[in-house]
């Protein structure tokens, strides 16, 4: 009953790889965007904000289809990337990572933005009077103080990425060994006559992963808060 088949193992490994890669690539970008939204006023700011949040409110199948149109083999960006850089997203695990990254991006950005907004800007001013250039202020004051938010965003983003289904299956389909994540494997299994037990096993695994992520985020957050207040 609890023995995982090779296909199931592959799906789990793939899900982890997709979610980890998506989170690690999205994090620096998310920090940059969060900082811009929290600290800068610029023309079109509300548009940027809306575009980032779009995947949260659009039907995932729409996001997936838009990705297919843009990043597919014959898509505008996809064709260029394939011809010039040899990067292919369509029906590859990299495409799954892209879809998961985009779908989880709003969840990643939000806690980071909130934690940057909560930082006392007078501390940043003080750093400036001590000779810190703006990038140094960011690296030595803003980012360390926003760390709990960054970790919370990463965990939320990771959890979303590992569970993403609609956009991923639309964009890169459901190919075992290449794009079949835990979610799409469960979907396939419950369509199969004898798939129930296997589906249940994967359900348990995804619960375990989600719980693990939550516990880890709590632990990180507590450590970070302790570090910040030093008591």
Per CB under 8 A, residues contacting other proteins are 120, 122-123, 125-134, 136-137, 140-141, 144-145, 227-231
Report, in Å, the least distance between residue 146 CB and other proteins: 10
Closer to other proteins by CB, 13 or 136: give it. Answer: 136
CB of 140 to other proteins, least distance (A): 7
CA distances from 215 to 141, 146, 155, 211, 225 (A): 27, 20, 10, 6, 15
Q: Cβ closer to other proteins: 37 or 127?
A: 127
Contacts of 42 (CB under 8 A, 6+ apart): 36
Closer to other proteins by CB, 136 or 192: give it: 136
Query: Dihedral angle at the C-alpha atoms of 164, 69, 154, 210, nearest 10 degrees?
Result: 10
Q: How far is the CB of 129 from other proteins (least distance, A)?
A: 4
Residue of 52, 231, 230, 218 lying closest to 148 (CA atoms): 218
Report the residue number, 120 or 218, with the smaller CB distance to other proteins: 120
In the complex with other proteins, the residue whose CB is nearer, 99 or 127, is 127
Residue 175 three-state SS: coil
CB of 120 to other proteins, least distance (A): 8
Residue 110: CB minimum distance to other proteins, A: 22
């Amino acid at each position: 009953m609890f023995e995982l088949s090779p296909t199931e193992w592959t799906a789990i490994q793939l899900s982890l790889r997709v979610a980890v890669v998506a989170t690690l690539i999205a994090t620096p970008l998310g920090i940059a965007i969060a900082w811009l939204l929290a600290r800068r006023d610029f023309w079109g700011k509300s548009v940027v904000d809306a575009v980032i949040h779009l995947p949260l409110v659009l039907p995932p199948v729409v996001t997936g289809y838009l990705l297919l149109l843009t990043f597919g083999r014959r898509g505008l960006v996809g064709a260029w990337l394939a011809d010039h850089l040899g990067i292919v997203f369509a029906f590859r695990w990299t495409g799954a990572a892209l879809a998961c990254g985009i779908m989880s991006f709003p969840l990643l950005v939000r806690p980071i933005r909130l934690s940057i907004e909560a930082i006392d800007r007078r501390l940043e001013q003080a750093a400036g009077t001590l000779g810190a250039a703006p990038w140094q202020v960011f690296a030595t004051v803003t980012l360390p103080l926003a760390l709990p938010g960054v970790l919370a965003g990463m965990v939320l983003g990771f959890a979303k990425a590992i569970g993403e289904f609609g956009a991923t299956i639309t964009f890169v389909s459901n190919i075992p060994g290449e794009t079949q994540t835990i979610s799409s494997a469960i979907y396939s299994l419950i369509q199969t006559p004898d798939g129930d037990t296997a589906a249940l096993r994967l359900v348990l695994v995804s619960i375990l992963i989600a719980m693990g992520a939550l516990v880890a985020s709590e632990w990180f957050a507590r450590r970070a808060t302790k570090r910040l207040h030093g008591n």
